[in-house]
A and B are shown apart, each in its own frame.
Chain A
Amino acid sequence: MTTTETKPATKTATRARPRLRADSATWRGRLGYAALILVLGYLIVVPLYKLQSLAFSDGAAGYEAQYGRPDIGETLRTTFALALGSLVIAMVLGTILAFATSRLPRRMGFLRIVPLLPIVMPSVANIVGWAFLLSPGPGYLNALLRHLPWWSGSDTGPINVYSTTWIIIITGFGLTSFVYLFVSAGMQNIGSEHLEAAEISGSSTIGVFFKVVLPLLRPSLVYGGGVALLLGLGQFTGPLLLGQNEGVKVLTTEMYRRVSESPTNFAAAAAAGSPLVIFGLLVIFAQRYLLGNQTRFVTHGGKSFAPTHGRSAWAAVVVAVYGLVALVLPLIGLIIVSLSPYWSADLSWDLFTLDNYRALFDTPGIVESVVTSVVTSLAAVAICVPLGLGVAQLIVRRRDLPILRLLGDVITALPLGIPAVIFGVGFLLTYTQGPFILYGTKTIIVLVYVVLMVPFATRMQLTALVSMGNTYQEASAVSGAGPLETAFRVTLPMLKPAVLSSVALMFILLTHEFAASIMVRSATTQVMGTLLYDHWTNGSYPLVGAMAILMSVVTGAGVVIAMMIGGRNVLDNL
């Protein structure tokens, strides 16, 4: 921070400096930030702009093609049913889980990580796992349920994982972790004095929950709900993998169909995505308006109490059951299929085989896809961290550049509000034409990953910078350290936990990225998720099971490495 923009007391010093030097330094800074915003703008805004201008070209032929389809009403209805249905499930489960984890007995504290683990499990793996359990014919769980007297005698069902209802339920389960993240963060800010006071006054646990906790959580519920609604609207993996069977369509899968038919119709795909873009923009601007000045949220300060643990055994049961259903069950489905020669409800020990794991190495492309996933994810993370830090610095420290700040703030928020599928289609459109033809390269994957992760890189470092306040840097300056020394000895070490958790989060999210990857991949440049999808549509279920396990292992290894570098609490900082 240069002296020009701080306290009046230093103004005399500024005036004493040669004007030219101060000006050139200021301009260098402005140009640097302007270049940063330009790069981000090109990456994030141009693909969206190109899509829309294409959709409106030729007398809005794209809109006519997409919204003139006879099934468009059904598609829209399913899209909103999926968003709202999964939102309700995720809000209820996420809030209960957050409350439960705050009441865990001390020796059960390790269970706090359970609600976050579904984020670590790749969504394609999770969904495929559920299909193996709940497919009406050979689904293992269905086969077990058919042993119950009231369902016996049938050879299909009782649950149909390919139906809209079950796609909604499974999506809701997946979104629960995200709601949990926001709500549990809000929960931690509730002083335990409030809870203890309520309990001492004779309130039951349920009473405390409804009369004290829920009202205090309103802001995080609204925020987490907004995010979950956006995620629900943009859901792609579940409807694509499970919806084919019964023709369940949502707007995102329609986008995929329009660009993967011959001839490709980008205009119609863009038109299909428009409601999602508009809704995302609305949410982003509403959030800007509601949150306003970020510095109001400085939280570093003395704490007069340490959070106490609860003593509730029910809390441990709730969290454990959730972990069992959301994580262990689909994993079991995957493991059984991956050890079988073919997927069938009739299991027998003699058939168990490790052939599918050997096939991981023999089948062309699988090993390459793992390498591509890891390399592109690491490259994107390496680009994202400095980009995010730059934008965070701009937003927090450069009040003198209001327009650039606003642009940086809004542009980096866009990928959070707008579904990844749309960026995937936009990138495919943008980079199969000049000036930069990147189709078929790893670069296009890296770039779209950068765009998807910039919001996380920016927000997490921004939060850390905001909550640091200016006092540490000022104290360092007063003690005689120069700006460089302050940056290296004070700012960066203090940001280290935030940077490390953002690196861990981004790596996890990217290694199982699917929605954007499937658009920008080419036939021979594939990541793990897209190749798994190809084998899924080919019906090679046992190999798919083994691939899903491999994918989970790769992501899991990323988490373990992140924990080794960043300490065991890396995931807590998400």
Chain B
Amino acid sequence: MNAKRLSVVAAGMLALGALSACGGDDSGTELAGSWDEIVAEAKKEGEVTIYSTHAPDNLEALKKAFEKKYPEIKLTYVRGTDADILPKVETEKQTGKGTADVHMTTDAAWIQNATDQGYNVEIVGPDFDETDYNRAESVLDDKWFLTSATVFGFGWNTSKVPGGLRTVEDILDPEMGDGRLGITNPAGIPTYVDMYRRINEDWGGNFVEDLAGQKPRVYESAVAIGQAIASGEIWGSPTAATTLLTEKENGAPVDFAVPENPFGVPWYSQVLESAPHANAAQVLADFLVTPEGQAAISHDYIAVLPDIEGTGVPGADVLAQDVELPDPATLDQDSVNAYQQEWEAEFQG
């Protein structure tokens, strides 16, 4: 019996010990003085983490390019939708237990609020001041920096829709009804709320209702739509991402076209106040706006620098600086929630 009692006490101690053993393990590092010192400290920190809603293939390319330039620093990326990532960034700030160093998003309202709420620190890298980057156009409050941009367009499976999808009429063709189109769910993603509002206006004033009449399938993200088009689960989408171009290069039976009046959105990034690697975070932020960084992160997307090979979208000859951030005033919490419920009633009711 004593042995049992001992084991009971031991178990209790174990559980308590496990609880208390977890104070702050890494409280984060201090930012060094000059840029050379920052780079040297970053190499000592040895790792850096980015949270991003960009395409997984581009983030993988970014990892390779960054680690090639800074072999001493291991880059970890976490890819998800804004709905996945924003709550995590919020929790990390609240608990003071940061994992992410750099965070990249398209959510205009969130971008506006974050600076007021002290989420981020000033960026200090030298490449933000390069003429081509156009700091005045590209950096908000010395904290958020323009990183990339995308346009959503028509994507289709070439073996299912040999003629392709070129116009709004092609999308609303009865042939494409009954689950053959795929669209993204705007739940928790204000950027998509903005997208549905804008294409509704730009594509005929009643486009969303007509689209709902097509009974499209609903996916969590544009990346998932790309995969579903490649697999033939759906035939096409009016709101595909340019990742389809990468899939096409990989040999998947897909194609992509930019419609008239496309909806585009820029990505902005911030260095987080809760970053566990203060120096490596600045080094990564700076790398993102260098030509090597842009070639990786903006491959088949819209770059922030001119003349970067492999970037850009056929039919949309623009730079990321030309793609406007949505007006945050139209994307407050209540109006986003209200639109979301309206959207669900229309598409899933």
Contact = CB atoms under 8 A, between A and B. Distances in A.
A2 B4 CA distance: 13
A439 B4 contact: no
Given A262-B188, A264-B87, A156 B8 contact: no
A244 B220 contact: yes
Given A36-B8, A70-B345, A263 B19 contact: no
A386 interface: yes
Given A344-B232, A538-B224, A393 B344 contact: no
Interface stretch (A292-300, A322-330, A482-490): A482-490
Contacts of A39: 12, 15-16
Interface string A27-42: 0110011011001000
Interface in A227-269: 244-247, 257, 259-264
A567 B331 CA distance: 61
Interface stretch (B76-84, B120-128, B132-140, B292-300): B76-84
A346 B84 contact: no
Contacts of A440: 92, 95, 97, 99
Interface in A461-517: 483-484, 486-488, 491
A337 to B, nearest CB: 9
Given A32-B8, A523-B85, A539 B341 contact: no
A487 B11 contact: no
The DSSP consensus for interface residues of chain B is helix
A553 interface: no
B223 A437 contact: no
Given A262-B86, A440-B99, A523-B99, A35 B227 contact: no
A540 B94 contact: no
Interface stretch (A100-108, A130-138, A211-219, A410-418): A130-138
B226 A390 contact: no
A145 B4 CA distance: 59
Given A262-B90, A483-B2, A522-B88, A390 B227 contact: no
Interface stretch (A48-56, A87-95, A111-119, A443-451): A443-451
B142 interface: no
A156 B179 contact: yes
Contacts of A2: 1
B233 A343 contact: yes
A149 interface: no
Given A156-B179, A539-B228, A246 B348 contact: yes
Nearest to B159: A346
A344 B8 CA distance: 55
Given A32-B5, A137-B234, A245 B11 contact: no
A487 B1 contact: yes
B11 A260 contact: no
A537 B79 CA distance: 11
A383 interface: yes
Interface string B314-349: 000000000000000000010000000100110111
Given A33-B8, A137-B232, A446-B18, A342 B227 contact: yes
A246 B178 contact: no
B27 interface: no
Nearest to A29: B5
- In this complex, the member of B20, B95, B251, B347 whose beta carbon has the largest number of chain A beta carbons within 10 angstroms is B95
B218 A261 contact: no
A524 interface: yes
B232 A539 contact: no
Given A246-B218, A387-B15, A443-B21, A261 B187 contact: yes
B304 to A, nearest CB: 25
A341 B344 CA distance: 33
A264 B1 CA distance: 48
A246 B11 CA distance: 46
B188 A257 contact: yes
Contacts of B85: 523
B73 to A, nearest CB: 15
B49 interface: yes
Contacts of A69: 341
B227 A540 contact: yes
Contacts of A450: 15
Contacts of A437: 22, 24, 95-97
A262 B97 contact: no
Interface residues of A, number: 70
B51 interface: yes
A350 B76 CA distance: 34
Interface in A517-572: 522-524, 534, 537-541
A308 interface: no
Contacts of B1: 1-2, 483-484, 486-487
Contacts of B223: 538-539
A343 B232 CA distance: 8
A204 interface: no
Contacts of B232: 137-138, 344-346
Contacts of A70: 341, 345
Interface in B62-77: 63, 76-77
A570 B227 CA distance: 42
A59 interface: no
Contacts of A33: 8
Contacts of B7: 386, 389-390
Nearest to A368: B76
A436 interface: yes
Contact of B11 (A156, A345, A387, A436): A387
A156 B345 CA distance: 24
Nearest to B82: A262
B100 A43 contact: no
A71 interface: yes
Given A262-B188, A523-B88, A538-B221, A438 B22 contact: yes
Contacts of B179: 136-137, 156
Contacts of B345: 70-71
A539 B56 CA distance: 11
A570 B347 CA distance: 49
Contact of A135 (B9, B20, B185, B233): B233
A364 interface: yes
A70 B342 CA distance: 10
A510 B191 CA distance: 37
A390 B3 contact: no
A432 interface: yes
A541 B2 contact: no
A462 to B, nearest CB: 13
A287 interface: no
A441 interface: yes
B217 interface: yes
Nearest to B105: A262
Interface string A372-389: 000000000001001101
Contact of B188 (A1, A137, A261): A261
Contact of B233 (A29, A138, A246, A538): A138
Contact of A441 (B20, B22, B79): B22
Q: Which 8 A-B pairs have the closest CB atoms?
A: A247-B348, A539-B227, A539-B224, A390-B8, A262-B86, A386-B11, A261-B188, A523-B78
Interface of A: 1-2, 28-29, 32-33, 35-36, 39, 43, 69-71, 135-138, 156, 162, 244-247, 257, 259-264, 341-346, 364, 383, 386-387, 389-390, 393, 432-433, 436-441, 443, 446-447, 450, 483-484, 486-488, 491, 522-524, 534, 537-541
Given A39-B15, A342-B231, A387-B12, 11 more contacts: A2-B1, A35-B9, A36-B11, A260-B83, A262-B188, A345-B232, A436-B22, A443-B18, A488-B3, A534-B84, A539-B228
30 contacts: A29-B5, A35-B9, A39-B16, A70-B345, A71-B341, A137-B232, A162-B217, A247-B218, A247-B348, A260-B188, A261-B87, A263-B333, A264-B91, A364-B76, A364-B77, A386-B8, A387-B15, A390-B8, A432-B95, A441-B25, A484-B3, A488-B3, A523-B51, A523-B78, A523-B85, A537-B220, A537-B221, A538-B224, A539-B223, A539-B224
